[in-house]
Amino acid sequence: MLTVVNADGTTTGGASLLDKIVRVGARRMLAAALEAEVNSYIAELADQRDENGRRLVVHNGYHQPRKVTTAAGSVEVRASRVNDKRVDAVTGERRRFSSATLPPWCRRSPKIAETLPLLYLHGLSTGDFVPALEQFLGSSAGLSPATVTRLTAQWQADHAAFQQRDLSGTDYVYVWVDSIHLRIRLDEGKAAVLVMIGVRADGTKELVAMTDGYRESSESWAALLRDCARRGMRAPVLAVGDGALGFWKALREVFPATREQRCWVHKTANVLDSMPKSAQLAAKKALQDIYNAEDREHAEQAIKLFAKLYGAKFPKAVKKITDDEDELLAFYDFAAEHWIHLRTTNPIESTFATVRLRTKVTKGAGSRAAGLAMVFKLVESAQARWRSVNGAHLVPLVRAGAHFERGQLVGRDEPRAA
């Protein structure tokens, strides 16, 4: 084993030496990121000068050192200080530089904060955080059971505030809806967490609403939609979801102008379940020919071919397609760049995949409130990694009533009423 003799005569083992090397590397990387952020901020405002030609935004030394818990351990960093002499025209107060890499109040890396709910949901009890993570992080600061308990209470408060925020300033052009069922250990039944994700006018995806309901009933969905409408939400242009949801009845009641699109992943599974395994492979290829068609006209021809091939032997399977033809092909009336996003509920399903895996391992949450808060924080963490829809510049045109033929923009109508 590698052994290093320190200046005071003590020795350091290989494992401890490796820990030190990792922490030194983490400290240098964090310092470099902070310095780069400050330099970029100052460079962007280099043209801001006073009447004497002096810069209004300059580097002004460093703040006092502080320890921050990171994935590589507890490291000491010194954040750069910025002297910003600009005055806000509205408030009359001096503007201040705020680091996104290391906010002034931060004592723990955001990645650590994101890890705690993941581990908690995975089944790690509050009393196990310190022995499980202390060796890895190099410090037990912020990992006590009381801290984790306070975190769960804060997550519930965060979700409550999220459900009360004003929606009048944000326009959600498209929305996806789905639900996830959580087993509650202290309750006899399961909690259905109803989730709505929307596409803003700039093309970015955002969590719109999340609440628990009684299964997937239309009453529960109607309550969610009415609450969104009360807080100022406009009627989306298109909603995407599973055909089995009670959501559609609620949507027609609250937002009757919104068009409906059935999820092709759910529909394909439902159709194939009503057919023998020997026919499923070919039938799946025939279904793919429908939703991957060049345009709506070719998709309608593919549906006719599907009905011709399987109508005699599997009428129930064919009926699942023909009865919902308009709702299944609605996405063809929008921009071709958006088709891949609109024909399935994958934006929600991909986020729910890890949630479902963890709830199976933990055998359910302790209470409805705790389970709902945990799912909220997991989705909130995942939201930062959601990518914008393709052709984001076309989203405002959809709201403005633009017409698309074969996925191409051909004109627009007056904006749709909310």
Residue 136 reports pLDDT greater than 60 = no
More confident residue, 354 or 345: 345
**Percent of the chain surpassing pLDDT 70:** 69
Q: Which pLDDT score is estimated for 321? A: 96
Contact 207, 197 (CB under 8 A): yes
Q: Which pLDDT score is estimated for 336? A: 96
Residue 371 reports pLDDT greater than 90 = no
170-187 b/e (C-beta count within 10 Å ≥ 16 → b) = ebbbbbbbbbbebebeee
Mean pLDDT of the chain: 79
Q: How far is CA 244 from CA 26, 190, 247, 260, in A?
A: 49, 18, 8, 13
C-alpha to C-alpha distance for 339 and 391, rounded to whole angstroms: 10
- Beta strands 205-213 and 402-405 are unpaired
Q: What is the mean pLDDT of residues 68-96?
A: 74
Q: Specify burial of residue 72 (Cβ count, 10 A radius: 0-12, 13-18, 19+).
A: buried
pLDDT in tens, 267-318: 999 999 999 999 999 999 999 999 999 999 999 999 999 999 999 999 999 9
Residue 105 reports pLDDT greater than 80 = no
pLDDT in tens, 29-59: 667 767 887 888 888 888 888 888 888 889 8
Residue 231 reports pLDDT greater than 90 = yes
- Residues contacting 360, CB < 8 A, separation 6+: none
More confident residue, 162 or 107: 162
Q: What is the mean pLDDT of residues 71-79?
A: 64
Range scoring the smallest mean pLDDT among 170-179, 270-279, 402-411: 402-411
C-alpha to C-alpha distance for 240 and 196, rounded to whole angstroms: 10
User: Sign (positive/negative) of CA torsion 351, 356, 357, 361?
Assistant: positive
Q: Which pLDDT score is estimated for 124? A: 52
Q: Which pLDDT score is estimated for 273? A: 95
Residue 14 reports pLDDT greater than 60 = no
User: Sign (positive/negative) of CA torsion 35, 41, 46, 50?
Assistant: negative
Q: Which pLDDT score is estimated for 61? A: 86
Indicate yes or no: pTM above 0.85: no
Residue 370 reports pLDDT greater than 90 = no
Range among 23-37, 352-366, 374-388 rated most confident:
374-388
* Beta-carbon-side half-sphere exposure of residue 134 (alpha carbons within 13 Å): 10
Residue 4 reports pLDDT greater than 50 = no
User: Which DSSP string corresponds to 94-144?
Assistant: BP----SSS-TT--B-HHHHHHHHHHHHHT--GGGHHHHHHHHHS--TT-S
Q: Which pLDDT score is estimated for 82? A: 87
